[in-house]
Amino acid sequence: MSTTAASPSPSPEAAAIIAAADTLVAAFQATAAERADEVALRTLDGGTEITFREYADRVRGIGAGLAGLGLRRGDTLAMLLLNRPEFHLVDTAAMHLGATPFSIYATSSPEQIAYQLGHAGALILVTERAFLPQVAAARAQLPAGSLPHVVVIDGEAPEATTLAAAEAAPAPGFDFDEAWRAVQPDDVLTLIYTSGTTGPPKGVELTHAGTLAQWRGLAEVLPIRLGGRVISYLPAAHIADRSGIHYAQMLFGAQITSIADPRQIAAALPQVRPTMWGAVPRVAEKLKAAVEAQIAADPDDARRTTVQGAIATGVEVVRHQVAGRPVPADLAARHTLADEHVLAPLRAKLGLDAADWVMFGAAPLPLDVHEFIRGIGIPTAEVYGMSESSMVATTYAPSEWRLGTVGRPIPGVELRLAEDGEVLLRGDTLMRGYRGDPVKTAEAIDAAGWLHTGDVGEVDDDGCVRIVDRKKELIINAAGKNMSPALIEGHLKSASPLIGQAAVIGDGRPYNVALLVLDPDVAAVYAQQHGLEPSVDVVAADPGVQAAVAAAVETANAKLSRVEQIKRYTLLAEEWQPGGDELTPTMKLKRRPIAEKHADAIEALYA
């Protein structure tokens, strides 16, 4: 008895599509022709809907306009855009010229924007009027004439060209079909700039061939539905949205709904009902917390008990399946009823009832959260990979029960552990190198072709991989004990929805301490429920919040060994925002900046 919705087997149709295309532009042309009348791009409110035929026509027109601005094969085009259909139109058009389009995080400072524009050698920057002040400040830092063109997609602006004007001025004699047919598999498809937590970001060069190799491997593991529905809500500067949504659509013809504000994702899911969806573990933690909070707030005792019992039944089934034990007949019968009357309606309410799979990556997913998601019947898979490996290097089919691991290497990828436990990868999916930096490229990929990931891992007897932590982030305390801060932080965050972020410190120290910050959304709800001013400093000082956080630390410590436990902590009266001082745009901790900025608070914990 499975707790997941029915999932198709890996799709031979998807594999055939990948095999037929040697570049992403060839894949796009085939998909657009086959699905001409289907909606390809849309906004959440339905105000914009673009069919594949219209998409292809716009790509042809924009491509000619970009050629009119001087964009040629091998040139670079930058984009500073929120998630919106225009990103796909412009990016795809630039690809058809053989150019290299890449995206800049919307949270970037002028200095960061200037660095990436200069490092990439961007000829054109496509942006929105809202970002023009940052663009102007960044442009002032560049050598004169190094960024000839700024194109604005949403109206007119001084010292900028509108996208409409560019389309209206195509390059004389430009042959669009000749341009895209000249694109080669080993051409650079995009640049992905790393988060830069320990220095200037590196520009990862990904090729058409590497990206296709990655999707070829995934198609042998995951069920990939043709013509499904997906949501673009993560930044296009991140490999997950760019490859998992943008490039995947070119291959498999999914309809993309763009939402500019990722905080809208909970509202978007029931409207879109995606057939595949991906998220970072923090989103899963918040989903679990929201469901539990709604259940707890139900005034009907009988209904509340029924729903909690149904979820507990689902989790119990999952634990049997993970352990490889047969599900007892009475439990299976109870689960059938629970799924029909409670869990299926709950999946529909969440908007995940049509999902063939939900993929989690970028950080470890706490086991209790994963059991909860699986327990309510949502098919899941954890993935491991990095920009340098074209996105995914390991995963498992949703029908498998590999909770606590990130599965096995996908077909076409080799994986082994170095003597110190570092995960090494090899295969056709790897990056071409770091742009303009042969020294760092050689440091990352050795002479035998192995990518040194910087992650420490373990491999079980079934060949499944578990990622321990970043090699450089492991805590080695004063007694020489090695610990994973990410593991400890995961327990802290999953112990209470109030805890939005946790940073554990303990390297070279006698014991571990933690800096904690509240989840802003949960804090706002708490403030409303308790009549408090909706500011994080007021909520953080509330005795009820202080008590809840203290209880959460105790709960987390109960799941940790004595040496891993948090001996002291402080709840900071501030928010840590993606792209800010403490978090990368993809919500990874910037450990060195955190340690420097909060040095006084940390030292006080050891006083």
Query: What does each C-alpha distance from 75 to 20, 58, 205, 517, 577 come to in angstroms?
Result: 27, 20, 13, 43, 33
Could you tell me the CATH number of the domain that includes residue 529? 3.30.300.30
Q: Quick one: which of 283, 440, 427 has its CA closest to 366?
A: 283
Provide the percentage of residues in the chain whose pLDDT is more than 90. 71
Q: pTM for the whole thing?
A: 0.86
How remote is the C-alpha of 272 from its chain's centroid?
18
**Which of 314 and 534 is assigned the larger pLDDT?**
314
Token pair 């339905």 is at which residue?
46
Tokens of 254: 């999914």
24-34 helix and 208-219 helix, angle to the nearest 10 degrees: 60
Pair (452, 504) in one structural domain: no
The whole domain housing 508 covers 474-606
- Encode pLDDT of 340-388 as tens digits: 999 999 999 999 999 999 999 887 788 888 999 999 999 999 999 999 9
| pLDDT score, position 2 | 27
Query: What does each C-alpha distance from 32 to 48, 182, 226, 425 come to in angstroms?
Result: 18, 19, 13, 34
What is the Rg, in whole angstroms, of the alpha carbon atoms belonging to the chain?
A: 24
Amino acid at site 379: P
Pair (506, 518) in one structural domain: yes
Pair (407, 510) in one structural domain: no
**Is residue 138 in some structural domain?**
no
Could you give phi then psi for residue 303, rounded to 5 degrees?
Answer: -65, -40
In this structure, are residues 22 and 185 in contact, taking their beta carbons and an 8 Å threshold? yes
**Is residue 166 in some structural domain?**
no
For the chain, what is the largest distance between any 2 Cα atoms, rounded to a whole number of angstroms?
Answer: 75
Pair (335, 319) in one structural domain: yes
Q: What's the whole-number average pLDDT of the chain?
A: 91
Tokens of 66: 């970009």
| pLDDT score, position 196 | 55
Q: What is the mean pLDDT of residues 489-507?
A: 90
Pair (479, 353) in one structural domain: no
Give the 3-state secondary structure of residue 383. coil
In this structure, are residues 162 and 151 in contact, taking their beta carbons and an 8 Å threshold? yes
Q: Is the pLDDT of residue 3 over 70?
A: no
Q: Is the pLDDT of residue 198 over 80?
A: no
Provide the percentage of residues in the chain whose pLDDT is more than 70. 98
Name 469's bridge partners. 456
Pair (304, 428) in one structural domain: yes
DSSP notation for 85-123:
HHHHHHHHHHHHTT-EEEE--TT--HHHHHHHHHHHTEE
**Is residue 382 in some structural domain?**
yes
Pair (490, 459) in one structural domain: no
**Is residue 183 in some structural domain?**
no
| pLDDT score, position 296 | 82
**Which of 351 and 400 is assigned the larger pLDDT?**
351
**Is residue 494 in some structural domain?**
yes
Pair (452, 303) in one structural domain: yes
Pick the last residue of a domain from 450, 471, 492.
471
| pLDDT score, position 6 | 32
Tokens of 234: 């993560």
Side-chain-facing half-sphere of 507: CA atoms under 13 Å = 12
**Is residue 262 in some structural domain?**
no
Residues 86 and 172: their CA atoms lie apart, in Å, by 24
- DSSP code of 342? I
Residues 234 and 239: their CA atoms lie apart, in Å, by 9
Q: Is the pLDDT of residue 30 over 90?
A: yes
Residues 163 and 309: their CA atoms lie apart, in Å, by 55
**Is residue 200 in some structural domain?**
no
Q: What is the mean pLDDT of residues 550-578?
A: 91
- Encode pLDDT of 294-322 as tens digits: 888 888 899 999 999 999 999 999 999 98
- Encode pLDDT of 54-77 as tens digits: 999 999 999 999 999 999 999 999
| pLDDT score, position 197 | 53
Pair (398, 541) in one structural domain: no
Pick the last residue of a domain from 441, 471, 501.
471
- DSSP code of 369? H
Q: What is the mean pLDDT of residues 414-427?
A: 94
Pair (466, 479) in one structural domain: no
**Is residue 456 in some structural domain?**
yes
Pair (367, 386) in one structural domain: yes
What lies within 8 Å, CB to CB, of 317 at 6+ separation is 1, 3, 327, 331, 332, 335, 375
> For the chain, how many structural domains are there in total?
2
Q: Quick one: which of 107, 105, 196, 106 has its CA closest to 590?
A: 196
The beta strands (E) that lie in 447-530 are given as 451-459, 465-470, 475-476, 482-483, 499-505, 512-518
Could you tell me the CATH number of the domain that includes residue 441? 3.40.50.12780
Pair (310, 457) in one structural domain: yes
In this structure, are residues 384 and 395 in contact, taking their beta carbons and an 8 Å threshold? yes
Q: Is the pLDDT of residue 4 over 80?
A: no
Residues 336 and 84: their CA atoms lie apart, in Å, by 41
